[in-house]
Amino acid sequence: MSVTAVSTLVSSIKARIAIVANDYTELGYALDINKNAFKNNYKRYGVLVGAGAEAAGVTRALTMDQTFELILTDGFINKQMSDSEEQSKVIALQDLMKDIYLDLVNTKAGSPSTCMIVSQLQLQTPETIKEQNVVIQRATINVKYRINL
């Protein structure tokens, strides 16, 4: 495996999300969600790379623990959300995030030749962009992977 492991993992995680959340499309701007024009589609996803650190492993290989942030959005088109509607979206997004996580665990992040294990799902507190009627659910996961030297 070359040193493109992180880009390979990002691509494979996005591909797995597209399969599990098949009615979602990728965010154009995952770092600054406010830049997205949600016009007719609030169901979006994004993947961001977080911190990484070397982990104990075997000789002739670099073993890494890498954090990835997963982002899901949903909302209402041309309509303000009531509190109960917003809470329903939050619950649905958290359930979907768990489904995505279980898929990533079972498929080794869609990259079994690189990924050793997916672990440590942490759901963040949901956010809302009231001006765009968007609910955002973020989560972090840890991916342990190995690069043979």
Q: Give the Å distances, CA to CA, from 79 to 75, 108, 130.
A: 9, 39, 11
What is the C-alpha to C-alpha distance for residues 52 and 146, in angstroms, rounded to an integer? 12
* Phi and psi at residue 9, to the nearest 5°: -65, -40
pLDDT digits (tens, 9 = 90+) for 48-105: 999 999 988 667 788 999 999 999 999 876 677 778 888 899 999 999 999 999 999 9
The pLDDT assigned to 3 comes to: 65
**Predicted structure pTM score:** 0.92
